[in-house]
Amino acid sequence: MAERVFITGIGMISAIGNNVEENFRSLRAQQSGLGFTRYIDTIHKNILPVGEVKLSTDELGALAGKPGSPEFTRTTLLGLLAIQEALQSAGIADPREMPAAFINASTVGGMCDTEKVYFDILDPQQEGTFLQYIDTLDCADCTQRIADETGLREYVTTISTACSSSANALMYGARLIQQGLVQRAVCGGTEALTRFTINGFNSLKNTDKQFCRPFDQQRNGLNLGEGAAYLVLESESLVNSRKARVMAELTGWCNTNEAFHPTAPSPEGDGAFEAMRKALAMSGKTTADVQYVNVHGTATLNNDASEGKALERLFGAKVPKFSSTKPFTGHTLAAAGAIEAIYSVLAINRQMIFPNLNFSEKMEELGITPETKLLEEYPVRNVISNSFGFGGNNASLVFSRYEG
Amino acid sequence: MKAKCYIKGYAAISPQESFSGGFAPHLLTLEGKNMMHVKEPDYSGFIPPNSLRRMSRVLKMGLTAALQCLRNSNAKIPGAIITGTGRGSLQDTEKFLHNIREYSETALNPTPFIQSTYNSVNGLIALQQQCTEYNNTFVHRGFSFEHAVLDSMMQLAEGNATEVLAGAFDEITDEHFYIKSRIGYWKKELTQPAELLESATGGSIAGEGAAFFLFTSQPSDICLEGIKMLYKPSEEEVQQALQNFLSSHDLAGEEIDLLVSGRNGDARYAQFYDNVERQIPDAKVFYFKPYCGEYDTAGAFGLWAAIKEMEQWPANNAVIYNNFYGEQHTFMLLRKVV
C-alpha cells in the first residue's frame, strides 16, 4: 500500500495578492487582479489585459531578501517569495533537515529578463554584467536558484508541459513520496509575464481584449497572468512523526494526453474526461463525493467547450459547483496548476466556493453554467482541479479534506 | 522502488552513424568551430511531407528518433511517453524572438511560438502514435533526460505502464553556440574531438542529439538497475554516493567491467571523473563525449553508447557516470541479463 500524501504547507503570489491570505481575501471580496501591465514593454500594453503581480522586480527582490540581485530574474523572485511562505506555513525552519525534493515548473524560465538583453548578448560589441546571467535563459535557472536559497537538493528538477506544468510537478512529487524516494517534496511552479509569451498567445489569436469570460457564450480568449505557488507534500509517516499540521490530502491524480491536435483540445473533451475520471478513481471517491471543480476554464473558445463537455460526460445530470478562477489571476501558465491547487485547498479548509467572474450568458453547446456567487459555509470535502495544455497535456488532481 | 526496468529497444540520432543501429565510434574533424552536428537521417519514411515542411529541426530529430525506437522495439503505443530536453527547439525560440523585433510585435506567425514549447515533441509523438497515456517533459539541464528515466522507472514500478517510451533531444545553433561561448561553455581554441580529453583548459565541444529508449517490465537482454542523481555535490559526496549506489545493488567497484564516462575535456570538472575511475578500477572505460559533444541531454547518448558497448563486448555490469558542468551528476547501473 503506497503512502498517503498530505499537504502541510502552501505559499503563493499572484495578481490578487502577495501571499495566501491576500489571495484568499481577494477571492472572497471578488476582486480581480486583471488590468494593464505596468512592467512589460510591449505594443499590447494598453490593449491586452493581464494578471500582473503588483510589484516591480526590484520590489520583489527586496521582499524576497535579495535586493539588487540582477541574477535573480522576476521568475525566480516570484518563486522564491512563494516557496518561503510555503516552507514557513509547513513549519519547516530548515529544509536541509532531511533529504527533500524540489519539483518546479516553468514554461519560459527567465525569458522575462533575458528578452530585454537578448540582442545585446548576441552583439560582440556589447559587454556588461548581463553576460553573467546568460544562463537565466533556460527553465532550470530559476529552479536551481530557489533550490540553493532554500537548501532543497535531494531531487531538483523542472517540468514543462505548458499550462499543465505545475499540476504535473505536484503529481511527480507525490509519486516520489509514494515510491519511498523522499518523505517530503516541495512542488509547484513560477511564471513571469514576458513579451515573448504575450506575443505568442496573441499570434494564436486566443487572447481577449476584454477581461476573460470563462464558460460564457461571448467568451473570446484568455488573459495571461503571472505568479508562483508551491505546496509542501509530505508522507503520512513524516506527518505523524513530526506532528505536522495537515491542510488537505492529495488523494488522486492523472495525466493523460489527448493525441488530438498540437494546440487544441478535442471537441468532446476526451482528454479532460479521462484525466478527471482516472484521478477520481484513484482517490477512491465517486462523482457524488465531489463538491467543487476548479476548472481550467481559460475562456478560449475551444477549452471551455471541451472541458464543459467532459464535465457533463463525467457527472451527467449532477455536475457539481464549478468555477474558473482565471478572471482573478489571469492564466499563469506553468504556475496555474499550483495556484489553483492552493485555491482548492482553501475551498476545503475555508468551506467556500469561489465565483467565476465575468459570466453572464450560458454557452449554447452546454447545459451547465459556472458558479457565479461566492458560497460560504459550503460543505466542500473533495475538489477536482484541472490543468490542460498545449501538446494535448491534461492533468487533473483530487484534493480531499483531511479525515485523519 | 522495486520494479525491474529492461531495455527493449532504442534509437539515436547523433553526430555518429548511429541511426542505422550500429556503432563504430568515429572521431569527427571539426573546422572553424568547436561544434558538432548530428547526421540527420532521411525523415520522409517517418513524417508525412506536409508535417515535415512545417517542422523545425529538433522536432524532426526528436520525433524520428522516437518513432525509430518504437519500430526497433516492435512496439506501437507505449504506456507512457516521457522526455527530457534542456533547450527545446532553440531554432524556434530564436526565430520568435527575432520576429518580435523585426516585425515590431505585429502579424507574427504563431508556428515558432508553438514549436518552441518544450513539450511539443511529446505532443507530436503522442499524436502520431495516438497514445493517450501519461505524457511528461523535464527541462532541467543535466537532469532532463535523467528525470525522464526516473519517471519511467516509477511508471513501471507503479504498474501504470508495462512499456515506457523515454528519450531526450537537444540541438545546437550558431546563435546559441555564440551565446554560450560568452560564458565559457566551449573551448576557446579549435579543439579536435581526438584531442578533447587531453586538453588542460576549461570548456568543451558543443554537440547535439536525440536518443530514445523503450523501457519495459518484461525481461530482455539489458536491465537498467538503478539511477542516482546528485545536485551540486562536493567531490566527497559523489564518491560516497557511488559507493552507496553500488553496495545497494550488492556490487563492489571491482565488479564493474564497463565504465561509460561523460568526461568532456573541461579541466574544471575533471576531478569528478578521476575519482570515479579510481573507484571503479578494473573497468574498461569508454568516453562518449568526443563522439557526441557536450549538451544538456548528452547523458541519453551515453546510455545508448553503453548499451552498444555491452552488446559488443562481454561486460556484465556497466556504470554510466555523467555530470553537466559540475552541477548535475548522475550514475546509472546497467546489468546484462544472463
**How many Å apart are CA A53 and CA A22, to the nearest integer?**
12
Q: Which of B162, B186, B216 is the last residue of a domain?
A: B216
What are the DSSP calls for B157-210, one per residue? Answer: HHTS-SEEEEEEEE---HHHHHHHHTTTSB-SS---GGGGGG--SS-B-B--EE
Range of the domain at B85: 6-216
Q: Are residues A231 and A262 in the same domain?
A: no
Residues 6+ apart with CB under 8 A from B302: B260, B262, B288, B320, B322
Q: Are residues B271 and B206 in the same domain?
A: no
Q: Are residues A88 and A183 in the same domain?
A: yes
Question: Based on the number of CB atoms within 10 Å of its own CB, is A246 exposed (0-12), middle (13-18) or buried (19 or more)?
Answer: middle
Residue A388 confidence (pLDDT) above 70:
yes
Q: Is residue B37 part of a domain?
A: yes
The CATH number covering residue B316 comes to 3.40.47.10
Query: In this structure, are residues B294 and B204 in contact, taking their beta carbons and an 8 Å threshold?
Result: yes
Q: What is the DSSP letter of B103?
A: T
Q: Nearest CB to A258: which of B129, B132, B139?
A: B132
Residue A129 confidence (pLDDT) above 90:
no
Judge: B132–A257 Cβ closer than 8 Å, yes or no: yes
Q: Are residues B148 and B250 in the same domain?
A: no
Range of the domain at A286: 254-400
Overall domain count for chain B: 2
Q: Are residues A173 and A207 in the same domain?
A: yes
Overall domain count for chain A: 2
**How many Å apart are CA B273 and CA B293, to the nearest integer?**
16
* pLDDT (tens place) for every residue of chain B, 338 residues total: 777 899 999 999 999 999 999 999 999 999 999 999 999 999 999 999 999 999 999 999 999 999 999 999 999 999 999 999 999 999 999 999 999 999 999 999 999 999 999 999 999 999 999 999 999 999 999 999 999 999 999 999 999 999 999 999 999 999 999 999 999 999 999 999 999 999 999 999 999 999 999 999 999 999 999 999 999 999 999 999 999 999 999 999 999 999 999 999 999 999 999 999 999 999 999 999 999 999 999 999 999 999 999 998 889 999 999 999 999 999 999 999 97
Q: Does B3 touch chain A (CB under 8 A)?
A: no
Q: Which of A222, A242, A262 is the last residue of a domain?
A: A242
Q: Is residue A249 part of a domain?
A: no
Mutation to test the B interface, candidates A132, A138, A276, A300, most B Cβ within 10 Å:
A138
Judge: B123–A393 Cβ closer than 8 Å, yes or no: yes
Taking residues A375-382, what's their average pLDDT?
Answer: 98
- Taking the CA of residue B10 as centre, how many other CA atoms within 13 Å lie in the half-sphere pointing to its CB? 28
Of A97-101, A132-136, A252-256, give the lowest mean pLDDT range: A132-136
Q: Which of A214, A242, A270 is the last residue of a domain?
A: A242
**How many Å apart are CA A19 and CA A24, to the nearest integer?**
9
pLDDT digits (tens, 9 = 90+) for A171-197: 999 999 999 999 999 999 999 999 999
Q: Are residues B230 and B173 in the same domain?
A: no
Q: Scan residues 140-159 of B and list those with Cβ closer than 8 Å to A.
A: 140-141, 143-144, 147, 151, 154, 157-158
Bridge partners, residue A12, by sequence:
A229
Mean pLDDT, chain A, integer: 97
Q: Are residues A296 and A196 in the same domain?
A: no
pLDDT digits (tens, 9 = 90+) for B121-151: 999 999 999 999 999 999 999 999 999 999 9
Taking residues A127-133, what's their average pLDDT?
Answer: 85
Q: Are residues A317 and A340 in the same domain?
A: yes
Q: Does B1 touch chain A (CB under 8 A)?
A: yes
Q: Are residues B311 and B167 in the same domain?
A: no
Q: Are residues B81 and B26 in the same domain?
A: yes
**Closest among B55, B109, B223 to A205, alpha carbons compared:** B109
Whole-structure pTM value: 0.98
Q: Is residue A313 part of a domain?
A: yes
DSSP H helices in chain B? 49-54, 57-72, 90-102, 111-116, 120-129, 144-158, 174-181, 235-248, 270-279, 289-292, 298-312
Confidence band (pLDDT; 50, 70, 90) for A1? low
Taking residues A77-89, what's their average pLDDT?
Answer: 98
Query: In this structure, are residues B223 and B337 in contact, taking their beta carbons and an 8 Å threshold?
Result: yes
Judge: A122–B96 Cβ closer than 8 Å, yes or no: no
**Closest among A281, A229, A287 to A251, alpha carbons compared:** A281
Q: Are residues B74 and B189 in the same domain?
A: yes
**How many Å apart are CA B284 and CA A87, to the nearest integer?**
46
Q: Are residues B241 and B329 in the same domain?
A: yes
Q: Are residues B68 and B144 in the same domain?
A: yes
Q: Are residues B212 and B231 in the same domain?
A: no
Mutation to test the A interface, candidates B59, B82, B119, most A Cβ within 10 Å:
B119
Q: How far is A268 from chain B (nearest CA, A)?
A: 15
Q: Are residues A48 and A187 in the same domain?
A: yes
Q: Are residues B20 and B57 in the same domain?
A: yes
One-letter amino acid at A71 equals: E
Q: Are residues B100 and B230 in the same domain?
A: no
Confidence band (pLDDT; 50, 70, 90) for A2? confident
Residue A128 confidence (pLDDT) above 80:
yes
Place of cell 480581480: A32
The three three-digit cell numbers of residue A269, written as one number: 473533451
The predicted pLDDT at position A132 comes to 82
The predicted pLDDT at position B4 comes to 87
Q: What is the enclosing helix (H) or strand (E) of A250?
A: strand A248-257
The CATH number covering residue A376 comes to 3.40.47.10
Please state whether beta strands B6-13 and A393-400 pair in parallel, antiparallel, or not at all (unpaired): unpaired
Q: Are residues A25 and A120 in the same domain?
A: yes
Q: Which of B152, B181, B216 is the last residue of a domain?
A: B216
Judge: B232–A158 Cβ closer than 8 Å, yes or no: no
Q: Are residues A212 and A76 in the same domain?
A: yes
- Collapsing DSSP to helix, strand or coil, A249 comes out as strand
Taking residues A292-306, what's their average pLDDT?
Answer: 97
Q: Are residues B235 and B204 in the same domain?
A: no
Q: Are residues A348 and A375 in the same domain?
A: yes
Bridge partners, residue B321, by sequence:
B261, B331
Q: Are residues A204 and A322 in the same domain?
A: no
Q: Which of B153, B188, B216 is the last residue of a domain?
A: B216
Bridge partners, residue B270, by sequence:
none
Q: Which of A208, A242, A276 is the last residue of a domain?
A: A242
Q: What percent of chain A has pLDDT over 90?
A: 94
The count of other CB atoms within 10 Å of the CB of residue A278 is 17
Q: Are residues A138 and A199 in the same domain?
A: yes
pLDDT digits (tens, 9 = 90+) for A226-240: 999 999 999 999 999
Please state whether beta strands B134-138 and B80-84 pair in parallel, antiparallel, or not at all (unpaired): parallel
Residue A199: its chain B contacts at CB < 8 A?
96, 100, 105, 108, 113
Q: Is residue A38 part of a domain?
A: yes
Query: In this structure, are residues B127 and A259 in contact, taking their beta carbons and an 8 Å threshold?
Result: yes
Q: Are residues A279 and A216 in the same domain?
A: no
Q: Is residue B1 part of a domain?
A: no
The count of other CB atoms within 10 Å of the CB of residue A286 is 10
**How many Å apart are CA B36 and CA B16, to the nearest integer?**
10
The predicted pLDDT at position A262 comes to 83
Judge: A391–B101 Cβ closer than 8 Å, yes or no: no
**Closest among A99, A93, A112, A105 to A37, alpha carbons compared:** A112
**How many Å apart are CA A179 and CA A171, to the nearest integer?**
12
